[in-house]
Structure 1
Amino acid sequence: MTMTFKAAALAAASLAVAGTAPALAQSRQGIAVANVEQAVYESNAYTTARTQMQTTYKAQIDAFNARNTALQTDLQTKQTALQSALQAANNQPTPAIQTQYEAFQKAQADARTELERLGQPIQLAQAYVEEQIGAKLSDALKAAMTAAKVDLVLKPEATVSYQPTVDITAQVKTQLNTMVPSVSITPPAGWRPGGQQQGAAPAATAPATAAPAATPQPSRPQSR
């Protein structure tokens, strides 16, 4: 999930709490729990966009994954050689090993830069999808609260325990499906998350010893 969507989710949660705080002492309706990230990821617009991205950005995804695999193999080979050299020197650093280590670090940095470049179109498209849905998240949450007749919503991680009946995540998703039936997966020229027109796009995951394969969508959160 991008920082832009995290900010939208945080704003929605803050609105749900702050907007009703003065009435807590005289609460007439009750408290609910909602996983707004899950609601977004399971919304029709998001799941459809994710499927579309697999097709539209297939060439970029395939190129990223192929290069990522090659870089993983190369970095693993360099790391193994470095470890073998260190063991052969009885774990005593030598100038040659230091040079080898610096070369390994440079290879990691170069791999990170290359993967960021290759993954940029995918990451940018994903951020654009999330921002379009996130723009309606507060409205969807408020509508779900009204429909469920609750005046305070908490995030699941802010609770110790709750009954499934107080979870309005599904209602938030339903409202999102109505308010945002579909989204575009093609950002306008020059678009950047948060309305920025300049600056770097979200970075692809960088490799440590071996970089994980890229996907055009974030991992789905675990539901209670």
Structure 2
Amino acid sequence: MRIILKSALAASLIAGAVSAQPVLAQASGTVVEGIAVANLDAVVANSNAFKTAETQRQTTYKAQIDQASQRRDAITAQLKPLVDKFNADSQAASPNQASLQQQAATIQGIQESAQEELQRILQPVAMSRAYVTEQVEDKLDQAVKSAMAKKKVSLLLSPQAVVAVNAAAYNLNQDILTELNTLIPSAQLVPPAGWEPRQVREARAQQAAAAGQAAPAAGTSTQPQGR
């Protein structure tokens, strides 16, 4: 057993502050009337509003990003001697398995705590990205319908639903992107106080609905009658 220390511990959390946008395929060739393919995630990520927000976020949330980067480096430095010792001990002729298990548990505990800490530090950054994404997605349906109408498309497929296709010939990405950029040229970067992502709001609503259904059921339970 060997533990490899990656200096990019939780780097995905920090690197997420500069997320790369998927490349859009360009439309070309002859398109069979009524059919098109579109990668809506790529359209959102390549929209002007989303890309501008990604750039602005580096300045607005610089303090959180820098703090997370500094903590990542400090945690990596803290873990390195522990990992080096673990790897050295594991290479012994007769390694002490109990000691190795204890060392591994210590390292894992530090890594898990570090990930939670970095997530807390970067939560404002993640909330900002979720807020911007939701604003763009709220205009996506209208952009899709407009692009489909202009191109006379009646069936729009996702890339995952197609086994093989001349993607460039049937691609509607750029048309949707053009409509989306018109509908929402920019987005608000900082969410208002108390804002929650759509998934959280929907989950909360489902819990409330379930609780509301359970309450009447409990109230209508039959009570035993006395003589």
The higher radius of gyration belongs to: 2
Report whether the alignment pairs 1:149 with 2:152.
yes
Cα contact 1:49–1:185 (8 A) shared by 2: yes
Q: Residue 190 of structure 1: which of 187, 191, 194 is its match? A: 194
Structure possessing the higher relative contact order (Cα contacts under 8 Å, 6 or more residues apart) = 1
Task: Indicate the residue corresponding to 1:132 in structure 2.
Answer: 135
Distance between the aligned counterparts of 2:144 and 2:180, measured in 1? Answer: 9
Amino acid at match of 2:111: Q
Calculate the TM-score normalised by the size of structure 2.
0.69
Q: How does 1:72-87 map to 2 (within 5 A)?
A: 72-87=76-91
SS at match of 1:135: helix
Task: Indicate the residue corresponding to 1:97 in structure 2.
Answer: 100
Q: How does 1:53-92 map to 2 (within 5 A)?
A: 53-88=57-92, 90-92=94-96
Q: Figure out how many residues of one structure are paired with residues of the other and give that number.
A: 171
5+ unaligned residues in a row in structure 1: which ranges? Answer: 1-27, 200-224
Report whether the alignment pairs 1:115 with 2:118.
yes
* Percentage identity across paired residues of the two chains: 40
* Cα RMSD after superposing both structures: 2.1
* Change over 3 Å in CA distance of 1:69–1:193 after alignment to 2: same
Task: Indicate the residue corresponding to 2:171 in structure 1.
Answer: 167
Task: Indicate the residue corresponding to 1:16 in structure 2.
Answer: none
Distance between the aligned counterparts of 2:93 and 2:138, measured in 1? Answer: 58
Calculate the TM-score normalised by the size of structure 1.
0.70
SS at match of 1:153: strand
Distance between the aligned counterparts of 1:117 and 1:187, measured in 2? Answer: 17
5+ unaligned residues in a row in structure 2: which ranges? Answer: 1-31, 204-227
Distance between the aligned counterparts of 2:97 and 2:187, measured in 1? Answer: 55
Q: How does 1:26-65 map to 2 (within 5 A)?
A: 29-65=33-69
